[in-house]
Amino acid sequence: MKLIVGLGNPGEKYAKTRHNVGFMLLDVLAKAMNDDHWEFSKKFKSLIIHRHPIAFLVKPQAFMNNSGNIVKRLINYYKINVGDLWIIHDDMDIKLDHYKIQQGHGPRLHNGVNSVEKALMSEAFWRARVGVDNRIEDIAQRTKGEPSFTKAMEGKEYVLQNFEKAEREIIDRVINKLTIDLINLISK
């Protein structure tokens, strides 16, 4: 059994932000797996789909920086090997329109992933790293249709911004492609 955890922040305020790509992808993955009926688990403080024979899908309802303890409790309760854990998250080290699937390797700075690594005392889990960085070097270089965010904006501020309309179209395309890749990988 696989445990697939989408990282994000709970609440409508964060629903369309870059930091919530993990939640966005899990919604698409759930539909692709023909089960988008999320149930809230008080025990795990998470939205969970647990009826699928291949994988549990989980959206922790604690803020991202506190996801690790929830993931650890889920792994221990369901007796899931760390190598069968998949964490889906945004990644500022990867440009928008790209993603990477890797085991044991992640971004330099991501507090949600760091929380999971610290709680599990392991980096051996899988990651689907979804690129969200679409900042430009200098606002003076901006041409029509380019984003209005510059590299001067700190990452923690940038990831809490909603996607711009053109970016949302790109991220939806990436999520759909990554969903297909994940289904193929977790089905093996």
* Assessment of whether the complete model's pTM goes beyond 0.75: yes
Round to whole Å and give the CA distance between 127 and 122. 13
152 compared with 98, residue with greater pLDDT? 98
Amino acid letter, 97: D
pLDDT, one tens digit per residue, over 6-57 is 999 999 999 999 999 999 999 999 999 998 899 999 999 999 998 888 899 9
Among the listed residues 19, 37, 105, 110, the single catalytic one is 19
pLDDT, one tens digit per residue, over 100-146 is 999 998 666 788 999 999 999 999 999 999 999 876 554 445 455 55
Q: Residue 37 belongs to what domain range?
A: 2-186
The C-alpha torsion from 35 through 6 and 101 to 85, rounded to 10°, is: -80
Average pLDDT over residues 64-71: 95
We report the CATH number of the domain holding residue 89 as 3.40.50.1470
19 included as an active-site residue: yes
Total domains in the chain come to: 1
